[in-house]
Structure 1
Amino acid sequence: MRLSVLDLVPVRTDQTTSDAVAASVQLAQTADRLGFERYWVAEHHNMAAVAATSPPVLIGILASATDRIRVGSGGVMLPNHAPLAVAEQFALLEAAYPGRVDLGIGRAPGSDPVTSWALRGAAGRDDTDVENFPQYLDDVAALMDGRGVRVPIPQREYVLKATPVAASTARLWLLGSSMYSAQLAAAKGLPYVFAHHFSGHGTEEALAHYRANFRPSDLADRPTTFLTVNASVAATEAEAHAQALPNLQNMARLRTGQPLTALDLVETALATDLPPQQQAMVDAGSARSVVGDPAGAAAQVRELAERFDVDEVMLHPVGSARLGTDPRTSPARDETLELLAKELL
């Protein structure tokens, strides 16, 4: 089995942004040392609990701090950005770290409507950017290719490239949490990742449709997929649940329209009483996550891989920290990777 990591660069109540980034650099080095396949960072904006606002910047930081692990985006939210800008960023990353860069692309904004408007800027980009998503996806792939894109203009053709001389290209993946993304990935012959960690619903149907309807392309000659899952692993099952609790409570608040604050420490979360609706969401979130001691958690990962017929699982380590933890570290997240690697790699 291959294991990978998804990182939102969480910000705890005891951390600054600098602390959170330092902790993620250490986590990426742990994953690199242990033999994990890839390390992806997400794109979210204007959220107190998340420092992953700019995947290309973070990928450059993480790639420079590691040796062999693939680094990438999980993902770049394409409606927020001009296709040429994304293509240029990832062509440059691939030039600096050839053979190690993944470009995972998503259709959601990763933010609230006001922040999305601010990201799109004075050019006036709007919701039609979501409608144009399939074309933008094609544009990014073509722009990163060494041949570039031929743009017809009066009296001549203009060749547009993301980089002057591309020797290799970042691996393109389509991300999603709905049937739409599965249909699009199959039609375009793209590698595909279902965000099981986010919704936990529709995974089987989406992956089955993708495999059944896949059309080979230059980007993938056969269906290529894995899934993501939230994970918290500790020496005991009780401690794993305690470390996961702050994240679960934050997700319950988010889904019920409450302000998303920085991630609580474990002691604060254990002392918090949630309303029944939010507590039900915490319980449901825990049930669809990998939470437990090493042997139990490894069995859960194997069961997921068998159930969804994948040979790679991307872990989103969600453990918070206890009082007195060095803010520039995330020992619970490191421990999740260490313990699962001993069981599965």
Structure 2
Amino acid sequence: MKLSVLDLVPVRSGQSSGDAVHASLDLARTADDLGYHRYWVAEHHNMPAVAATNPPVLIAMIAGATRRIRVGSGGVMLPNHAPFVVAEQFGLLEAAYPGRIDLGIGRAPGSDPVTSYVLRHGGGGVEDDAVARFPRYVDDIMTMLEPDGASLELNGRSYPLRATPAATSTPPLWLLGSSDYSARLAAQKGLPYVFAHHFSGNGTAESLALYRDGFRPSQYAAEPTTLLTANVVVAETAEEAERLARPQLLAMLALRTGAPLTPQRTVEEAAAVQVPAAHEGLLEAMRSRWYIGSPDTVAQGLGRLAAEHGVEELMVHPVAGAGLDTPTDSSPAREESLRLLAKAMD
């Protein structure tokens, strides 16, 4: 079983963005030392508890701070970006760290509607249905990343387009999604695929079946290639794991119920929060899909998840919170989750 890591670069009470980035760099070094296979960062915008706003910048920092682990995006939200810019960014990353870069692409906004508008169109740009153009944009990126690049016909002339002048390798491209749309598209194009099990938890089996049944072999993948994501908190005792999980559970509850978003609470702040009775069922439903507990309990649960869905790689999202006395530039409970899990799964 391969283990990998997903990181949203969380920002908690009392932390600066710089603190959060430093904590994630330490987490990446820990994952690298422990033998984790990949380390992916997400793309979210204008959120007080998430500093992962720019995957290519973070990937460059993380790849430079680690030795062997693959580093990638989980993912770049393609409707927010020009395909040529994405191809340039990841072509350059692959050139700097050959064989260590993954390009994961999604079509979700990764933000609220106002922020999405600013990202895509500025203060008065022409409306462009980037979501509808998503399949074509994926094709454009795949072509422009190839050493020979693409050719654009304009006014009777052919203009070459290459992501980088002299590519010797290309990063693998993954499609990400939480519905059957990306599953079908990945199958059609013969691309590796990831279902966002950590976020949705519903429809995983159906999406994977659609992907596997409809898969067409390609130069990018000879057979269906997938992994699963899961939220995890691992501690020496189940009680401690539950305490460490509560800050992130409360953050997700706020997101799902439309409550004001704030920096992630410390474990002490989270323990003092009284959840309204009307929301207790939703909180427990989310918690039931997470893997929270002692090392053996979480390892066994993840083993069952992998067996149920027939995957040989799991990407864990370590969501353990921090205490009031935790140094602001570190996240020791997230690092400990990775250590304890690696040992239990060995």
**TM-score bin, normalised by smaller chain:** over 0.9
The 3 A distance-change label for structure 1 pair 142 and 5 is: same
- Name 1:121's counterpart in structure 2: 121
Counterpart CA distance in 2 for 1:245 and 1:192 is 30
Q: CA deviation at 1:344?
A: 1.1
Q: CA deviation at 1:159?
A: 1.0
Counterpart CA distance in 1 for 2:215 and 2:342 is 32
1:25-40 matches, within 5 Å, as 25-40=25-40
Q: Which amino acid aligns with 1:119?
A: L
- Name 1:216's counterpart in structure 2: 217
Counterpart CA distance in 1 for 2:52 and 2:227 is 22
Give the conservation status (yes or no) of the 8 Å contact 1:253–1:278: no
Counterpart CA distance in 1 for 2:272 and 2:303 is 33
Deviation by residue 1:150-192 (Cα, 9 ceiling, x = unmatched): 1112232111111111100011000000011111110010000
Q: Which amino acid aligns with 2:339?
A: E
Count of residues in Structure 1 that have an aligned counterpart in Structure 2: 345
Give the conservation status (yes or no) of the 8 Å contact 2:291–2:301: yes
1:1-345 matches, within 5 Å, as 1-122=1-122, 124=125, 126=127, 128-345=129-346
Counterpart CA distance in 2 for 1:241 and 1:14 is 22
Q: CA deviation at 1:125?
A: 5.4
Counterpart CA distance in 2 for 1:269 and 1:24 is 22
Q: Which amino acid aligns with 1:220?
A: A
Q: Which amino acid aligns with 2:183?
A: A
Q: CA deviation at 1:323?
A: 1.8
Counterpart CA distance in 2 for 1:169 and 1:273 is 50
The 3 A distance-change label for structure 1 pair 221 and 125 is: farther
- Normalising by structure 1, we get a TM-score of 0.98
Counterpart CA distance in 1 for 2:315 and 2:261 is 24
Greater displacement, 112-121 / 44-53 = 112-121
Q: CA deviation at 1:278?
A: 2.6
Paired residue secondary structure (1:165): coil
Counterpart CA distance in 2 for 1:125 and 1:294 is 52
Counterpart CA distance in 2 for 1:107 and 1:167 is 28
Give the conservation status (yes or no) of the 8 Å contact 2:121–2:127: no
Give the conservation status (yes or no) of the 8 Å contact 1:252–1:279: no
Q: Which amino acid aligns with 2:77?
A: M
Give the conservation status (yes or no) of the 8 Å contact 1:5–1:39: yes
Paired residue secondary structure (1:48): coil
Q: Which amino acid aligns with 1:289?
A: W
Contiguous gaps of at least 5 residues in structure 2: none
Contiguous gaps of at least 5 residues in structure 1: none
Paired residue secondary structure (2:175): strand
Counterpart CA distance in 1 for 2:239 and 2:85 is 46
